[in-house]
Structure 1
Amino acid sequence: MEGLVVSVKISDRAQNPGYQQQLENAGIHTLLARLWAARGVNDPAQTQPHWQNMLAPSLLSEVNRAASLLADAIEQRKKLLIIADYDCDGATACATGVRALRQMGADIDFLVPNRFETGYGLSPAVVSLACQHPNGKPDILITVDNGIASVEGVQAAREESMEVIVTDHHLPGDTLPDALCIVNPNKPGCTFPSKSLAGVGVIFYVMLALRAEMRQRGHFDPKGGPRLDNLADLLALGTVADVVRLDSNNRLLVTQGLNKIRKGHLQPGIKALFMVAGGNFQEASATDLGFKIGPRINAAGRLADMSLGIRCLITDDETEALHLARQLDEINHQRRSIEHEMSEQALATLASPESAQSASICVFNESWHQGVVGIVASRLKEKFWKPTLAFAPADNDELRGSGRSIPELHLRDALDLVSKRHPGMILKFGGHAMAAGLSLKTAYFKAFASAFNEAVQEMTGTSSFEPLLETDGSLDPVYANAETALLLQNQVWGAGFPAPLFRDVYRIRNQRLLKDKHLKLKVERNQVLYDAIWFNQQESLPEYAELVYELVPNQWNGVVSAQLLVKHARDA
């Protein structure tokens, strides 16, 4: 699935000289000031990711009510059970809640739904599992990274005389569950300034509020209680892995987590995952969390049971952590090979001319694995640059689908439109603008694909999309060095705050294929030679090419040099 089948539009991100000047006046490096200003940063405080600049927990609606309820429950020795989600955000949110609540004296355990048996979130099926929990029936269920859509599940819990505290960040539907309280920055009426907080961020804020409540009640000294900043590595991992927008508050949380990781203050499980992934935690970057650590945790929820991933994150025993990390690594290898096979099969079904004309992609195969359809959808979306849904068979003659979208289309809204136009076609759905999940009866697949395609065309006004590669323009040669590459690597980039991409014309001095699939280049600009690499690119380049690239550090034999990571090229 290499290369792009679609053409690419390249444009330069608008500069903001006014913002840039403000940042430079505060003593910020000229290049960083230019890059940050172009991403909307206008306040030097947003570039100082210190804990005291974090948005206050009190701004999050109902967080103090949740804290008060949890403090009562701890004092009354009530049994608490966290209901997690089976992705990395859900796993880190669960680990954050379990670790913090244990340190505050709570009787706490966790239960994670199984993707294949009970589906997503607090469903009535999960409630009946909670009733049979080995530690006894819980008094209070706490949802993390789910629950906002669990109207029936919360009702079922209350009928079993269990109360529910919902902590979530997903968009709510028309009806809210009848829980004791709901902490969600996206809940109607919540004025919390960061709507992009991940599930792990929400439970972290609840734990901060709970500690403050416990201090007020005299359980801890005014500045005592558990050191919650020691959970910052979990916070960073879940936030990056969930690909939420890295606004200034999320960048602060991720930066704090990366600082802890680099200094060696990290959970044994995360340390073990770095070890099995062949990464060095002392030089950890957001990219490592997103592409090395996150996928290994996610693999458990995709193919096996996410409690493996959660146990890895909550154990304090280094030997057990390494044992679990190795299992997660093994599952991730299986996931890769399943994904490769499914992607190849998907490509074969998309070879028809009518597929090329369609505004969207809907694929299904009876042999596919439910846990991997999301990744396949993501790969196809990147390749064809169309909103994509991939389906696998589930029980009861149903299909489970997972979708990925492009910036032009809000995916959850598109599914909502289909569901309103064709009542009963979609059994259930949920998600965000860029990713969503759904289930439908097998017999409806073709009709759904056609209805979805219609909704995409109507909402976007087009049937063909062109990816936009936004660059930061030319890189002044004075900055094309290892020092700048390290400086850029040490910043937090990601969703909504993309890593810098530069575009310049280079002379191609040398090119060869590495492992038959990556283009290794020696390129020249202003009489200076640079190493460059373009992953998954087999076609050679002309003598002069305009390269779109990231400047990254390359370490070899203890020497750091600047390398160009090529993302796109065209004849110059």
Structure 2
Amino acid sequence: MMLDRSITNTLWQLQDANSRQVLALVQKFELPEIVARILVTRGINVENASDFLYPLIKSLLPDPFSLLDMDKAVDRIILAITNNEKIAIFGDYDVDGATSAALIHRYLKEIGINSTIYIPDRIDEGYGLNTAALLKLKKQEVGLCISVDCGTIAYQPIDDAKSFGLDIIVVDHHISMESLPNAVAVINPNRFDENFPYNNLAAVGVSFLLIVAFNKILREKGFFISKKEPNLFDLLDLVALGTVCDVMQITGLNRALVSQGLKVMSARKNVGLRILFDNLRILEKPSVAHLGFSIGPCINAGGRVGEASLGARLLSTCNEEEAYQIALKLINFNNARKVLENEALSEALLQVEQSVTLNTKFIMVSGNWHQGIIGIIASRLKEQSHLPTIVISLNNGIGKASCRSVPGIDIGAAVLSAKFMDLIIEGGGHSMAAGFSIKDHKIRDLHDFFAERFADFVKEKMIKVDGIITVKSVNLSLWNQLRRLEPFGVGHPEPRFIIQGVRIINPEIIGTNHIKCLITDGNTTARAIAFRSVNTKLSSAIMQSGVKTILGRISVNYWNGREFVQFVIEDLMT
């Protein structure tokens, strides 16, 4: 059922559910009707509901050796251990890279193998493997380098490493070209010749499969006869963090990894994560929202505006004092990042206002912005416009770009095509996010290339609505029922509801850009909030009197040890 357009020009689509399938779920799994209805609208039935409601890794985890080159990677790591070679882990500077590097480092340490982590500087070295860094590792007598969350298209650095005797194993998830680098192994569910069914894994998910495979072979070889075998599940907190922060779909195997990872995180076994949670004053049970909006940005801040290695160091250390000092640094860097972000976002929005027309298919803006914040700016602009967005940081004739996309546009494939046509220097990514570097005189040509490539894209912002409720339904009982559907994320968003015939009372700006208020239908009153809404069409409508229909989700806010339920207003019709 399609509803009218909202004040933000968004279509609301009320999802229809087969009543027989809903009844079957209610009876078999003793679910509330509203929960069963949501499941049915999302393609869940009595056959697959058990895996969805109770996602167990042991039932969903594939054979890691079904990934191409997994056997080669495991054999080479075993050879390195046998020959007492030094091992380095080379990670990207984002959360996925930090968690991947820390995961492998922690596992190796637990089985008695030392390794070093190398994270390149975003400004001085740029993304991914580089020859100078690999040569530095070789001079430190490293014999094997495991590249995580990068390396799939690092042809020249890997060739250079081979020439001076450094072997590379690539563990990645970014889209490949139709040729692979000359590495010992390239483990990547998105390499061109791969048939692995789970191509939506983050690099940390692929890294987890690597240690599962490696651990299996060690067990078969009797490695654990005289020593304790690690509990691989203890590392799932890192897998959950990297998966959520790299915006992977929380479905299938990822759902199991994140679900179990959040349980491990609740046990607070990782020293760095525990201390970061404490310093951010997050005392409640960790959630996807905590990872995406609080923990992830702090881990990222080191790579964006501070010391690139801090995130991986925090996640891999067992020293409480070191973790405390790193956590404080990351929080300070994140606060500095917010200032830079606000300034750059204002400038970028001005460019958008001057260039966007009704027929605009994508957004491309550029400026002398810090490279570490352009990914966030791209995400913000994409959210507001529902268009593929490219944000370019210019410096000395070279632009570094971050891209974010929407369903229907594979931005990673578009960037690789631009590289093939020699429009950019380097670049890559996946369907929803990518990055590249470009000479500034080619930006206009690249704009024309994207204009032609995205010409057939039809912009249609739509929100799928899970049901119509009343103000009285905004309560802890319904909240607790909906929690049976967690974890939420990309591919499985939090349920959205419509409340009709609402009046908004006492709207008030809190913080810098949020509006809190009360909603009432004349019989019941509930708390509500509209995040990041100041100076938008939504805030103008909230401030106006009259009866409204609102759309949003139910959440719980924790404050001073108390919890209260609220309705998060995301859109509105008058």
Same fold (TM over 0.5): yes
**1:471 counterpart (465, 471, 487):** 465
Which segment drifts farther, 517-526 or 386-395? 517-526
Give CA-to-partner distance per residue, 1:42-75, whole Å, 9 cap, x none: 3112321233223133443333432232223212
Give CA-to-partner distance per residue, 1:113-136, whole Å, 9 cap, x none: 22212221223233223223xxx2
Alignment correspondent of 1:340: 342
Instruction: Give the distance between the partners of 2:426 and 2:143, measured in 1 at CA.
Output: 28
**2:492 counterpart (477, 489, 497):** 497
1:206 deviation in Å? 0.8
The answer as to 2:532 corresponding to 1:529 is: no
Alignment correspondent of 1:269: 272
1:16 deviation in Å? 4.7
The answer as to 2:434 corresponding to 1:436 is: yes
Give CA-to-partner distance per residue, 1:390-423, whole Å, 9 cap, x none: 111245x211111111213211233344445xx3
Aligned residue type for 1:78: E
The answer as to 2:274 corresponding to 1:257 is: no
Give CA-to-partner distance per residue, 1:296-328, whole Å, 9 cap, x none: 111111112321111111111112111101100
* Counterparts of residues 18-167 of structure 1 (less than 5 Å): 19-30=21-32, 31-42=34-45, 43=48, 44-56=50-62, 57-132=64-139, 136-167=140-171
1:522 deviation in Å? 2.0
Helix, strand or coil at the partner of 2:29: coil
Give CA-to-partner distance per residue, 1:17-55, whole Å, 9 cap, x none: 465445334315233322223222331123212332231
Aligned residue type for 1:428: E
Aligned residue type for 2:56: H
Instruction: Give the distance between the partners of 1:531 and 1:564, measured in 2 at CA.
Output: 6
Alignment correspondent of 1:512: 507
1:509–1:148 distance in 2 versus 1, CA, 3 Å: closer
Instruction: Determine if contact 1:285/1:489 at 8 Å carries over to the other structure.
Output: no
Instruction: Give the distance between the partners of 1:417 and 1:211, measured in 2 at CA.
Output: 38
Aligned residue type for 1:364: S
Instruction: Give the distance between the partners of 2:493 and 2:339, measured in 1 at CA.
Output: 29
1:524–1:5 distance in 2 versus 1, CA, 3 Å: closer
Given the two structures, how large is their TM-score scaled by the length of structure 1?
A: 0.91
Which segment drifts farther, 480-489 or 500-509? 480-489
Alignment correspondent of 2:3: none
Which segment drifts farther, 490-499 or 42-51? 42-51
Instruction: Determine if contact 2:363/2:389 at 8 Å carries over to the other structure.
Output: yes
Which segment drifts farther, 28-37 or 195-204? 28-37
Instruction: Determine if contact 2:177/2:191 at 8 Å carries over to the other structure.
Output: no
Aligned residue type for 1:88: V
Instruction: Give the distance between the partners of 2:20 and 2:201, measured in 1 at CA.
Output: 29
Aligned residue type for 1:272: I
Which segment drifts farther, 330-339 or 488-497? 488-497
1:484–1:379 distance in 2 versus 1, CA, 3 Å: same
Helix, strand or coil at the partner of 2:520: strand
Instruction: Give the distance between the partners of 1:211 and 1:12, measured in 2 at CA.
Output: 47
Alignment correspondent of 2:414: 414
1:160 deviation in Å? 1.0
Aligned residue type for 2:153: A
Instruction: Determine if contact 1:508/1:521 at 8 Å carries over to the other structure.
Output: no
Instruction: Give the distance between the partners of 1:406 and 1:237, measured in 2 at CA.
Output: 22
Aligned residue type for 1:570: M
Instruction: Determine if contact 2:364/2:447 at 8 Å carries over to the other structure.
Output: yes
Give CA-to-partner distance per residue, 1:164-216, whole Å, 9 cap, x none: 11111111112111221222222344333321111111111111111111111
Alignment correspondent of 1:368: 369
1:558–1:398 distance in 2 versus 1, CA, 3 Å: closer
Structure 1 gaps of 5+ residues are none
Instruction: Determine if contact 1:58/1:209 at 8 Å carries over to the other structure.
Output: yes
Which segment drifts farther, 478-487 or 180-189? 478-487
Instruction: Determine if contact 1:418/1:455 at 8 Å carries over to the other structure.
Output: no
Aligned residue type for 2:239: L
| Total equivalences in the alignment | 555
Give CA-to-partner distance per residue, 1:534-570, whole Å, 9 cap, x none: 1224321443211111111234565544311111111
Alignment correspondent of 2:556: 553
Instruction: Give the distance between the partners of 1:352 and 1:154, measured in 2 at CA.
Output: 43
Alignment correspondent of 2:205: 201
Helix, strand or coil at the partner of 1:36: helix
Alignment correspondent of 2:392: 391
Structure 2 gaps of 5+ residues are 1-5
Give CA-to-partner distance per residue, 1:320-357, whole Å, 9 cap, x none: 11110110000001111001101111122233266565
1:222–1:200 distance in 2 versus 1, CA, 3 Å: farther
1:487 deviation in Å? 4.1
Instruction: Determine if contact 1:377/1:388 at 8 Å carries over to the other structure.
Output: yes
Instruction: Determine if contact 2:356/2:363 at 8 Å carries over to the other structure.
Output: no
Give CA-to-partner distance per residue, 1:474-513, whole Å, 9 cap, x none: 1377854202213434610001111111112042152321
Instruction: Give the distance between the partners of 1:386 and 1:83, measured in 2 at CA.
Output: 33
Alignment correspondent of 2:573: 570
1:143 deviation in Å? 1.0
**Aligned-pair identity (%):** 30
1:562–1:107 distance in 2 versus 1, CA, 3 Å: closer
Instruction: Give the distance between the partners of 1:541 and 1:470, measured in 2 at CA.
Output: 26
**Alignment RMSD (CA, Å):** 2.4
1:109 deviation in Å? 0.9
Alignment correspondent of 1:228: 232
Instruction: Determine if contact 2:57/2:253 at 8 Å carries over to the other structure.
Output: no
Aligned residue type for 1:486: N
Aligned residue type for 1:47: L
1:246 deviation in Å? 1.2
